[in-house]
Amino acid sequence: MFEKKNFFVAPMAGITDRPFRQIIRQFSPDVSLVTEMISCHSLKEQHKNCPRNFDRYDDEGNIGTQIFGANAELMADAARILQDNGAKWIDINMGCPVPKVATRAGAGAFLMKNHKLAGEIMRAVVRAVDIPVTVKTRLGWDAEHCDWRELVDIAADSGVASVALHGRTRAAGYTGVAIHPDVSDCPIPIIANGDIKTVDDVRQMENLGYAGVMIGRAMLGAPWKIAEITDGKVPQNIVNIVLNHLDLVIDYYGSRSGVPLFRKHAAWYSAGMSGASAFRVAVNQITDEKELKDKISEFWGCVAKI
């Protein structure tokens, strides 16, 4: 099976922030992380309502920072800022399917429709920094336009180091089953992304010629997922992990913003457990830090007694 350095945590908007990355590092110190996507406009203008615009990455191990945008010059500027802030590599988002990015902003997955602009952006970012540049994309815009290989070839010609390929089209979003084509003849390393959850999934990707795997939604409520796949390690005292994660979120965002932001994580951690539905309903009404901590402790205490 792949070495641990060939496992990546996918960039997930609103999820792979610094607190979540800190929790993942407790279980997988050697895994490669990618930040949630950052707007090149927001980063260049240093919007103060976006804390991640001011993150430093020197102490985060092997971490790439993902940027999105439709302007090659701004993307290059953003890449320089992130390099100066300690990123180990720059990842260009060419796969985000949400309308505000892929249609209204002409970025993300839209670049699968505009290979000329995609190439301009890749070349500009590669020239702008001294660290590797990668791309994350999808199979294509829709089932009739699965032209991912053309984009991979453009990436290789532009000096991009590797491409993470999500096994769905933009039109599919996150529905259906991810399809992973054979990539053994691609000119640069390809990282498999989409529906990878088990050891068998990882081995299948190896057989298809992938250079590594990128795991996303399987990490929700299970930041130990990669450690589980690589070492068979599943933690027992989940409540301590949940409370530690909450403390990190509060430290980063403050209590007023952090409590509402953490409620989704509390729900993911509880998934599949007895009483989880009622717990999620209760948690979604909580705005006070102490009340949330008490509810979390109460829920996992009750589960332990069953």
Per-position DSSP letters for 47-77, written without gaps between them: -TT-GGGG---TTSSSEEEEEE-S-HHHHHH
**Could you report the per-residue pLDDT of 80-118, keeping only the tens digit for each?**
999 999 999 999 999 999 888 877 778 999 999 999 999
Indicate the pTM of the whole model: 0.94
Which amino acids are annotated catalytic?
Answer: 96
CA distances from 220 to 58, 109, 215, 282 (A): 25, 23, 10, 20
The Cα–Cα gap between 266 and 101 comes to 27
The answer on pLDDT for 132 being more than 70 is yes
The Cα–Cα gap between 153 and 138 comes to 14
pLDDT at 240: 96
Q: Please, what is the angle between helix 255-270 and helix 238-253, to 10°?
A: 150
**Could you report the per-residue pLDDT of 291-300, keeping only the tens digit for each?**
999 999 999 9
CA dihedral (267, 201, 164, 45) in degrees, to 10, reads 10
Interacting residues of 100 by C-beta distance below 8 A, sequence separation 6+: none
Q: Name the residue with tokens 């199979």.
A: 139
The Cα–Cα gap between 121 and 94 comes to 10
Fill in the DSSP letter of residue 197. Answer: -
Which of 247, 246, 252, 248 has the alpha carbon at shortest distance from 51?
252
Where do the structural domains in the chain lie, given as residue ranges? 4-231, 238-305
**Could you report the per-residue pLDDT of 41-86, keeping only the tens digit for each?**
989 887 767 777 889 999 999 999 999 999 999 999 999 999 999 9
The pair phi, psi for residue 68, each rounded to 5°, is -135, 150
Whether CATH 3.20.20.70 fits 4-231: yes
* CA of residue 182 relative to chain centroid, distance: 23
Residue 303's pLDDT band (cuts 50, 70, 90): low
CA distances from 284 to 88, 104, 220, 265, 271 (A): 37, 31, 17, 11, 14
The Cα–Cα gap between 70 and 172 comes to 22
Residue 117 token pair = 């602009």
**Could you report the per-residue pLDDT of 162-212, keeping only the tens digit for each?**
999 999 999 999 999 999 999 999 999 999 999 999 999 999 999 999 999
pLDDT at 45: 85
**In this structure, which CATH number among 1.10.760, 3.30.870, 1.10.1200, 1.10.3470 belongs to the domain 238-305?**
1.10.1200
Residue 306's pLDDT band (cuts 50, 70, 90): very low
Q: What is the mean pLDDT of the chain?
A: 94
